[in-house]
Amino acid sequence: MRTLDRFLDFRILQGNKECEMTISLAIASLVMMGEAQGSQVTFDNQPQITQVSYEKGGEEQVLNLYGNNEVIVETQNLEQLNNFVSQYGLEIRPLMDPEVQTQEAQDAFLQYKIIKIPSNLQSSEKQNLVSLLTDLPGTVEIKPNKAPYYLYPDTDQTNQTFNFPDTSLDNPYTPNDPLFPQQWDKTKMQCEYVWGADINGENIIIAYIDSGVDTDHEDLIDNIIPGKSFIGGSYEDGHGHGTAVSGLAAAKGDNNKGIAGVSYNASIMPLRVMNNQGNFEDWASIINSITYAADNNVDVINMSWGRFGDPYSAEENALNYAHEKGLVLFAAAGNYNRDASNFYPSAYEVVIGVAASSPTDGRWIRNSSVGSNYGLSVDFFAPGEAILATALGGGYEKKEGTSGATAEASGVGALMLEANPSLTPERVRELLSESADTITTDKGKVLRVNAKRAVEKALDEPQGIEEQTPTQRPSELTDIILGSSNLYQATFPERGTLTIYEASTGRRVQAPIQVYGHVDVDFSGFPAGVYFGVYKPQEGRQQVGKIIKTQ
């Protein structure tokens, strides 16, 4: 069994003071810069951890039980599990909450059960129970239904001021929000052009799986629709993270108040899974929130949080469930200045992973250990430094990190879906790729989201066609960073054509070539940059793979 051990940062600046919360399975950081008030945040109530060791397959395994002493068991033999629970007098309940989930969602997760290990047992007795559960016929995986959190201080931060030239747009519209002149991020992504075409997220619902939302905030109140708390109580935000990310994407625009979100007329559905300290309660609340969104008319899910580690089947199945129902899924790539290849949920195949860019189109970096994650699992960058967001209790604060970048990208996804409701999740990903700006960072050339070009691409797509079942990206067009040989190698199971385009301009650099089976394309003659291979089989829809040439 694997413990939950992924960490993310959340910093709060208070004048010249700052504290940093490092959170396991928690929010991808946003930093409040400016006029935050109050005393330094500290926590003394660290969770009690019981380590339970057991043997399976000759290897000693460790499963950590926290606070609630609950585990999630995936089984292929429900009869055996129910008999075990009855024999030992344990509490058992389904992973899917029947009071809020559709029958379809409950049926899709029948193999997952939550079992409560009695807290009054001795450690040796808990160890025996977990060992017996592990060896029970049909058991596939056991996961703790809780994650640990801790805080540590941090003081390394400087405020900066950025100035930008005016951007020439075809038909820009500047909203009357008084703080809009400070929103460099919206101008960088050319949002004004999209708003000028009267596309602003109308009739699109974005679910924020987060800490809730400040339902009284002047710039959010008109866009909030009923949501749900999966940890008890209301979905009112007592922490601030959910209020910030929802405002970056969907703060009401053109209302003579505060700021404008990317998709400023999109609806905000708060799905609360974090408590007032920014801590996740358990796996069950996260998984239930994803399937709830899928069955309640949501178009886009924003997940501004993550963890390093291994994929978890229940989480991945929930995301696949949402994806198959047509939801576009965005998640933060994380703020550890590290490769994000095993950073989840952003690294799942059906999720669009978002990293953070700076005002000068570099990679957002705070110091050697704090900065935007990067790597092949990152689909796009979006503005994530000194970006104005809505603040808990009213007002506005500047933020930085991949949490905010994810919200920016989610907003662009909402604009695309308003422009063309026929787009599938994979087509949204592909069009974002085809329309993005190529920027040069310390990790090479990457793609940064461009709202104007993305919506133009969406408008050019056929509309009103019969909806296709969303599919995962094909393995034959896996995104790739070319090695020193500069060979792009791929396998095509059906006859078709492959065309290569330059991402930054959309210019075709390789005429269509007939492909079937294994194919090598020599990129030696192409300059370093980001390219796309577009594969069009004789039957079926075209597929797109990203190709990064570093030298």
- CATH classification of the domain holding 70: 3.30.70.260
Instruction: Return the C-alpha torsion angle 191, 192, 197, 201, nearest 10.
Output: 40
Does some domain include residue 28? yes
Q: What are the start-end ranges of the E strands in 347-449?
A: 352-357, 380-383, 387-390, 396-399, 437-441, 444-448
Do 15 and 55 belong together in one domain? no
71: nearest Cα among 171, 174, 124, 143: 143
Do 425 and 513 belong together in one domain? no
340: nearest Cα among 312, 384, 313, 380: 380
CB 233 within 8 A of CB 274: no
H or E segment at 311?
Answer: none
Q: What is the pLDDT of residues 217-246, one digit of tens each?
A: 999 999 999 999 999 999 999 999 999 999
Please count the residues of the chain.
Answer: 551
CB 398 within 8 A of CB 433: no
Beta partners for residue 496, in sequence order: 515, 537
Number of domains making up the chain: 4
Backbone angles phi, psi at 181, to 5 degrees: -55, -20
Query: What is the predicted pLDDT for the residue at 432?
Result: 95
Q: What is the pLDDT of residues 120-152, one digit of tens each?
A: 888 888 888 888 999 999 999 998 887 532 322
CA distances from 529 to 309, 438, 481 (A): 30, 8, 10
Do 399 and 533 belong together in one domain? no
- Predicted structure pTM score: 0.75
End residue of a domain, out of 398, 432, 460:
460
Q: Alpha-carbon distance 469 to 425, whole Å?
A: 10
Q: Alpha-carbon distance 128 to 185, whole Å?
A: 55
Do 198 and 288 belong together in one domain? yes
- The catalytic residue positions are 210, 241, 403
Do 118 and 258 belong together in one domain? no
pLDDT, averaged per 10 consecutive residues of the chain (551 residues), comes to 28 30 36 33 27 33 60 93 93 95 95 91 84 92 67 31 37 92 96 94 96 96 96 95 97 97 97 91 94 96 93 95 97 94 94 97 94 94 96 94 97 96 94 93 94 92 52 47 75 81 68 78 81 75 74 71
Does some domain include residue 503? yes
Do 392 and 269 belong together in one domain? yes
- Largest interatomic CA distance in the chain: 72
Does some domain include residue 176? no
Do 530 and 428 belong together in one domain? no
Q: Alpha-carbon distance 526 to 482, whole Å?
A: 12
Does some domain include residue 296? yes
Do 443 and 492 belong together in one domain? no
Query: What is the predicted pLDDT for the residue at 535?
Result: 80
Do 529 and 489 belong together in one domain? yes
End residue of a domain, out of 117, 145, 173:
145
Q: Alpha-carbon distance 438 to 447, whole Å?
A: 5
Do 323 and 191 belong together in one domain? yes
Query: What is the predicted pLDDT for the residue at 120?
Result: 86
Does some domain include residue 314? yes
Domain coverage including residue 528: 475-549
Do 341 and 414 belong together in one domain? yes
Does some domain include residue 34? yes
Does some domain include residue 312? yes
Can you say whether the dihedral through the CA atoms of 349, 488, 494, 424 is positive or negative? Answer: positive
Does some domain include residue 151? no
Spatial strand order of the sheet with 444-448 comes to 228-229, 267-272, 205-210, 300-303, 328-332, 352-357, 380-383, 444-448, 437-441
Do 132 and 278 belong together in one domain? no
End residue of a domain, out of 123, 145, 167:
145
Cβ atoms within 10 Å, residue 352: 24
